[in-house]
Amino acid sequence: MKKKRVLAALVLVGLLLLLTGCTSMLGGETQPQATMPPMTAEMFTDLSSVTEWYNAVTFEDTLESLTARFGEPEEVQDDNGSYWNFLDENNHGVAVVFFDDGTLRSKMVYFEDIRQFADLSGASHIENVSLLDSGMEYEVVTAAFGAEGIEIMQLATDSGNGAGQYLMIWVSEDGGIVQALFNVTDNKLEQVSYSLASEA
C-alpha cells in the first residue's frame, strides 16, 4: 500500500510543482519530469468504471457527504498536508483535498501509476509537447497528440468558487506521459509537464 501511495502522490506533488511554477513554464525551455520506476500496476480497461466516483464528486461535497456516499476513506498525510482516498472493491475511486474551511479544493481520479491509462488514452506523438505554448486551446493540444485527453483532476483556485482549472493527461503505449493544466473559463492551456517514453 505504501508504494501505491507514493506513486499516486507523485502526480499530486507534480501538480503542486506546476501550480507553484517549479516545473517548466510554457513559452520557454520545457524540461521532462523525473524518470518513473518500472510499472507493476494493472492497466485500466474501462474508463467509465475508473472515473465513476470522480465524476460523482462535486465542489459542493464535503468530507462528511463523501463519507456518507462512498464509505470511510483512507487518509494520507505528507509534507503538503492531507488528502483522502475513497476506493471501491476494484481499487477504483477518487482522491480529494479540502481547504481549511472544509470546502473541496480538488478531486483526482485515483490510480496507482499514471501509466495505467495508456490503453485508454490512444495518444501518439507525445514528442509534440515541444510545440505547445501557453494560451493554446484544448482542441489544438488534442490535435497535437492525436487523441482526446483524459481528465483526471479538477482544482478550485479559491474556496467556494468551484473548479477553476482541470488537468488532462495523454499517455502513449510506450510510456510517454503529458500532463496539461487548462483554465475552466476558456479551456486554454496554462502549464504542462511530461515524461518521454525513453525516460519513462
Please name which of 175, 178, 152 lies closest in space to residue 165, comparing C-alpha atoms. 152
- Give domain limits for the chain: 2-199
Full-model pTM: 0.82
Could you tell me the pLDDT band of residue 158, with boundaries at 50, 70 and 90? Answer: confident
Residues 6+ apart with CB under 8 A from 59: 103, 104, 154, 156, 162, 163
Residue 182 pairs with which residues in a beta bridge? 166, 189
17 residue type, one letter? L
Q: Are 189 and 132 in contact (CB under 8 A)?
A: yes
Q: pLDDT tens-digit profile of 24-78?
A: 434 444 445 556 677 788 999 999 999 999 999 999 999 999 999 999 999 998 7
Sorting pLDDT into bands at 50, 70 and 90, what band is 170? very high
DSSP assignment, residue 188?
Answer: B
Strands (E), the chain: 74-78, 81-87, 93-98, 104-109, 150-155, 165-171, 177-183, 189-195
Q: How far apart are CA 45 and CA 176, in angstroms?
A: 18
Beta-bridge partner residues of 178 = 170, 194
Neighbours of 197 (CB within 10 A): 13
- The domain covering 2-199 belongs, at the CATH homologous superfamily level, to BLIP domain (3.10.450.730)
The C-alpha cell at 145 is 497528440
- For residue 198, what pLDDT is reported? 54
Distance CA 119, CA 130 (A): 23
Average pLDDT over residues 160-170: 89
Return the DSSP state at 116: G
Mean pLDDT score across all residues of the chain: 83
Residues 6+ apart with CB under 8 A from 171: 114, 115, 117, 118, 121, 123, 150, 177, 178
The answer to whether residue 16 scores a pLDDT higher than 80 is no
Q: Do residues 59 and 103 touch, judged by C-beta distance below 8 A?
A: yes
For 104-151, what is each residue's pLDDT tens digit? 999 999 998 888 999 999 888 889 999 999 999 999 999 999 999 999
